[in-house]
Structure 1
Amino acid sequence: MIVRLFDNFTIINLFVLNQELYSLSERFLSYLELEKRYSVHTCTAYRNDLTQFLDHITTSYGRTLLADISHIMIRDWLASLMENAMTAKSVNRKISTLKSFFKYCLQQAMITQSPMVKVIAPKIKKRLPGFIDEKGMRALEENVSPVSTTALHIFASDFEGQTHQLIFEVFYQTGLRLSELIALEEFKIDKGNLTIKVMGKGGKERIIPISAALAAQIQRYQSEKRSHLEDFEEKVLFVHPNTGRKLYPKYVYLMVRKYLSEHQITTLRKKSPHILRHTFATHLTNNGADLNAVKELLGHASLAATQVYTHNTIEKLKKVYQQAHPKA
């Protein structure tokens, strides 16, 4: 049974007690940011995980050296998280953080063995990524609401409506992440060669082909932006239709959710910009795209991350088989 020694300690006291560990975590985070070039969002997640872990170590065990941290201490922390109803997926993310941290410590010759070798990650129930069917995407592309008997347009014809419609088109036709779409710069759109350059995770750049129709739509949007706004952020493609400033994640998230919900484009409970990325990948694989090509388009580091979309293809094949085969 573990006795909690410092339940009433303030954050400052925790830091002072194990200052070496907290300082080491800051060095590790600087390494991720400056050398590994992880995104701000990713570094923030790592920081939160490490701070929670070090706070637990300090309150449970008092002053602790790096070499004294054992797999038992780590298991104790993970058990406490699961007791508080944390999901297996979230616990696994924290395990990944600790693995990276102790790997860094090994590389710096601060320890001789990582305590993570004896830590087993909880199993996660695999869920297929949700996506919008082709009928729903056609409604968005043709700008006709599927729930209206009077052919009500989904997007308004004003500049705001044009901005929103183009955001949907770029998401669906390129599979960009939300952060990538917001950061997309005008000069990285090559309308002659019909490609865009995207800066992805870890500072990795990739080239994505686009259709001539999308290139023309982007050109019209750029012209409209210059005639509609007197002042706007010139570097990025997408700007706020009222202020001209660079878009922020919550604006795009709420906008996508609003259109998908109001026009009943999908029955999925989760209606986020990432659904459009899943839709891009799923429609490609369902129509016979090479998995390695889809991997490159999505900017995945490994094929394992892309293979989840083949499950959707298999489910489609099963459905076709059951509906069409005499012996099904």
Structure 2
Amino acid sequence: MNEVLYSLAERFISHIQLEKRYSEHTCTAYRNDLLQFFDYTTAAYGNVSVGDITHVMVRSWLASLMEDAMTAKSVNRKISSLKSFFKFCIRQELLQQTPMTKVVAPKISRRLPGFIDEKGMKALEDNRSPVSVTSPIIFADDFEGDTHRLIFEIFYQTGIRLSELISLQEFRVDKGNLSIKVMGKGGKERIIPISNRLYDQISEYMAQKRRQLEEFESGVLLVHPHSGQRLYPKYVYLMVRKYLTDHEITTFRKKSPHLLRHTFATHLTNNGADLKAVKDLLGHASLTSTQIYTHTTIEQLKKVYQQAHPKA
């Protein structure tokens, strides 16, 4: 174990946590990446100092990861961690230049994001199962069903992340401006417009929460329908997957809350929304992340063809 490098890594993590205000998840990932790299350099090259680390060492480590079948996306995340760490070392005057200048990131094959078609989302909105005749209702007519239904509505109508959903506060729902204020990655706030219908659903839910539960976590918008405590990620993930699977809302393999975020963005772009506006709504740092939603569905292509081609 290289105590000097480990100590330096902890200084860096404190910096991004306290000054940069990175999320706990990001800080944990960066720490794991750095400690993994330091373990490798210690095993392969001995007790090196930060000034001894070269691009050859970094390349060697990355090559070993790819030999172990690590994806290009994961490797690029580790490269990003190292780049940030060495920039920190330069600012601390521990280095004059970073060894990352000669490290080339592997190319990532971008897959189009999956999404639920408008027919599937209409079934959820109307609360009518497209497949079950014996049980045509998707969401039960009780507080639990109403909680689950509102979760789907907020995901689809705002495109927020799972972490943003479970941290939503009641006071951040603005009736006057018909909007919600979301705390995104890195502590960045953004305002997302909502419809009158969604505002009414949220208002009814808040009133129902006070009627149904003797105790619930104060301030939090969405709570567990039985305990009244703040929702936790696994609960929401399993709930979303169950509804999408049981009622065959989509054939897409990975049925997760993030699929609803993809659906929000895809439906906006497919219906002509400006890409920069979609970027701001999603809370993306750059337009590059949003450009994956510019794909066109087969249904759209057929529609354009039938409307525009003289022989259609």
Cα RMSD (Å): 1.5
TM-score between both structures, scaled by the size of structure 2: 0.96
Select which of 98, 102, 126 maps to 1:114.
98
Tell me, in whole angstroms, the C-alpha distance in 1 between the residues paired with 2:277 and 2:292: 14
Deviation at 1:118, TM superposition (A): 0.7
How far apart are the structure 2 equivalents of 1:195 and 1:280? 16
Within the alignment, does 1:236 sit opposite 2:220 as a pair? Answer: yes
Match of 2:263 among 272, 279, 298: 279
Q: Which structure 2 segments of 5+ residues have no match?
A: none
* 1:307 match: secondary structure: helix
Q: 1:172 aligns with which of 153, 156, 168?
A: 156
Deviation at 1:319, TM superposition (A): 4.4
Query: Among 35, 46, 58, which residue is 1:74 paired with?
Result: 58
Does the CA-based 8 Å contact 1:130-1:278 persist in structure 2? yes
Counterpart Cα distance in 2 of 1:127 and 1:252: 25
Query: Partners in 1 of 2:296 and 2:257 — Cα distance?
Result: 19
- Determine if contact 1:281/1:309 at 8 Å carries over to the other structure: yes
| Mapped partners of 2:210, 2:257: distance in 1 | 26
- Partner SS for 1:106: helix
- The 1:19/1:312 distance shift into structure 2, 3 A limit, reads farther
Question: What is the aligned partner in structure 2 of residue 199 from structure 1?
Answer: 183
Matched-pair contact (CA < 8 Å) for 1:291–1:306:
yes
State the partner residue of 1:128.
112
In the alignment, the residues of structure 1 paired with residue 271 and residue 77 of structure 2 have an alpha-carbon distance, to the nearest angstrom, of 33
Q: Quickly say closer, same or farther: Cα 1:134–1:231, change in 2 above 3 A.
A: same
User: Within 5 Å, which residues of 2 pair with 1:297-316?
Assistant: 297-312=281-296
Give the superposition deviation at 1:30.
Answer: 0.7
Residue of structure 2 in register with 1:99 after alignment: 83
- The code of the aligned residue for 1:95 comes to I
The alpha-carbon deviation at position 322 of structure 1 amounts to 5.3
Q: Could you tell me how far 1:135 is from its partner in structure 2?
A: 0.3
Using the TM superposition, give the Cα deviation of residue 308 of structure 1 relative to its aligned residue in structure 2, in angstroms.
Answer: 1.3
Q: 3-state SS of the aligned residue for 2:47?
A: coil
Superposed displacement of residue 311, structure 1? 2.2
User: Unaligned stretches of 5+ in structure 1?
Assistant: 1-13
Shift of 1:50: 0.9
1:165 counterpart letter in structure 2? R
Shift in CA distance, 320/192, structure 1 to aligned 2, threshold 3 Å: same
AA at the equivalent of 1:116: M
Which string of whole-angstrom CA distances, capped at 9 and with x for unpartnered residues, describes residues 253-288 of structure 1?
A: 111011111111011011110111111111111111
The residue type equivalent to 1:180 in the other structure is: E
Q: Percent identity?
A: 70
Instruction: Work out whether residues 88 and 122 of structure 1, in 8 Å CA contact, stay in contact via their aligned partners in 2.
Output: yes
Q: Secondary structure at the match of 1:206?
A: strand
- Residue type of the partner of 1:282? T
Partner of 1:214, secondary structure, is helix
Kindly state the Cα deviation for residue 62 of structure 1 after the two structures are TM-superposed.
1.0
Mapped pair 1:291 → 2:241: no
Q: Which amino acid in 2 is paired with 1:68?
A: D
Helix, strand or coil: the match of 2:97? coil
Aligned-pair CA distance for 1:312 = 3.6
2:37 matched to 1:61? Answer: no
**CA distance in structure 1 between the partners assigned to 2:241 and 2:87 by the alignment:** 39
Q: 1:327 to 1:110 in 2, by over 3 A?
A: farther
The alignment covers a number of residue pairs equal to 311
Note if contact 1:197-1:208 (Cα within 8 Å) is conserved in structure 2.
yes
Query: TM-score, normalized by length of structure 1?
Result: 0.91
